[in-house]
Amino acid sequence: MEELKDTSIHKMASKLINAIKSLNDYTDLFKNVQKLACNPNVDKNDMRQSLEDAIRESGLETEIRNLIFQLIRTNLKIDRVFDAEQTPSQVDPLVYLRRAGAQWDRRVRKSLYTMCAELKVYAQGQPRTSSDRDELLTKWDELSNYSVDLACYRPVYAPKDLLDVLLQIPKWEFSHIPLKVKKLCDLGTHYNDLLREESYYSVWDLNTQCERVLAMKHATLCQHILKKGNIPATYRGAMWSYVLGSHITDFDIDYWNKLKGNVLSTDHIVDKLVFKDVQLTASNDDQYFVFEDVLYQIMLCFSRDTQIGEMVLGENYHQKPKTYEAPPSGVVPFHGICMFAAPFCYLFDSPIHLYYSFRAFYVRYCHRLTTINTHPQGIVSICLLFEKLLQSHEPKLWSHFRELQIHPIRVVFKWLMRAFSGHLPPDQLLVLWDLILGFDSLEILALFAIIILSFRKESILQVVTLESIDAILADLSSIKVIPLIKLALSRD
């Protein structure tokens, strides 16, 4: 047993070493260790211990720990999912779902290329004219004043399109999909920290706690404190940066400038789709319209970021993911995509800091909500969890929907796919996203959707049309996240 344990540790260590060496910051990290090795306090006769002490005292140990924290919960975690799934001797019960995911991806790409053909533009983009480039550069900080004709452009797809595809898959029944999801008791265990009343929290002022945690610079501590859902807004951006691993380096600044340069030099059809999406969503939202200019910057650079396609690993299908000519990021803009970035505008003043935190959040969570996949945190699993919770804990609502022949997912899908962005007030949305980051799980979305329906159950039971139900659920401005989630988790 000890030999197996040692082998497992060795394999994990080897994966971590290779992953760290592939990072952009590896060269600087290695140079810093070399400098410490030359420190007079490092004894060549006790090299290992004295170097470890020097690394600890310099603060480099914390940086390395945070790197390992990020790598274990992303790259290496996905490797374990792959290892568990690959059973060639067995028939894959989810093959139809994987095939549907591939078909949906092809459909989205085809829609984009068809739009390019109709408008007679190149999908790969074309060089901007000097006048267009100069205007874009001059108005970079006020892109709402940049003149662009969007009359012929439309979103490639919307949440409703993805939902229609999900519900039309042959033999589709969410409750019959052989994906493993948690029961309410399991969720109670997973989110136990949220329910626990910790007496020692009353000893310290919450602001002091946050300052002490941030001073220690440990990502794991930042993640832990987010689990309470009561972080003062002043510290939220810094906490998120540590948990997402989105602190800015010189390389990141250079890369941002490269993305900006690409936007200025090349005209892509996705540029118009970005402008169209921001105008249709954030610009019409009372809570986000003031961030219109910075959202243009963020989403334009996002569309050029080829690293995104590399970071979103091929976890959805067993076959090797395909590469596409356009857009460079691999992410086709859809109706509402900018609403994933909009909440970050409340956390960061700098577009660069905003961009890298948003990008990390998108890669870690959001992309799984916009594709058909079998991931435990994917949109299919979240919908399945919602449906099972509704059946078991709100049978009256479930029966009411069935009698009306309304699929309950239709009522909440827009919430789930956008992680409630644009539906909850920003202050409550950020609390909900605190919990997503703190517990590293999107399952809270399904649970929160259930408790909202429960909260308005009596009104829902009195109406008989989907439009009426949507009207009852349209205004979430009075909803408070933490009390409702605690109420849901406290159910027997």
Cis before 328? omega within 30 = no
Interatomic CA distance for residues 182 and 194, integer angstroms: 17
Tell me the torsion sign for CA atoms 97, 311, 126, 257. Answer: positive
Which whole number is the average pLDDT over 246-252?
Answer: 91
| Range in 226-230, 237-241, 267-271, 408-412 with the lowest mean pLDDT | 226-230
Q: Locate tokens 């720990």: which residue?
A: 65
Q: Which residues contact 310 (CB under 8 A, 6 or more apart)?
A: none
| Range in 168-172, 339-343, 369-373, 468-472 with the lowest mean pLDDT | 168-172
Q: Contact, 453 vs 394, CB < 8 A?
A: yes
Both tokens assigned to 87: 């059973």
Both tokens assigned to 372: 């058909």
pLDDT the model gives residue 63: 74
Residue 267 phi/psi, 5-degree rounding, is -100, 115
- What 3-state DSSP class applies to 126? strand
**Up-side HSE of residue 58: CA atoms within 13 Å toward CB?**
20
User: How many angstroms separate the Cα of 99 from the Cα of each of 43, 78, 105, 196, 365?
Assistant: 59, 20, 10, 43, 22
Interatomic CA distance for residues 322 and 459, integer angstroms: 47
103-128 pLDDT, tens per residue?
A: 999 999 999 999 999 999 998 889 99
Q: Is the pLDDT of residue 88 over 60?
A: no
Return the closest-CA partner of residue 375 out of 177, 127, 134: 177
Interatomic CA distance for residues 359 and 352, integer angstroms: 11
Which whole number is the average pLDDT over 241-259?
Answer: 94
Q: Is the pLDDT of residue 37 over 80?
A: no
446-469 pLDDT, tens per residue?
A: 999 999 999 999 999 999 999 999
Which whole number is the average pLDDT over 356-384?
Answer: 93
152-174 pLDDT, tens per residue?
A: 999 999 999 999 998 887 455 67
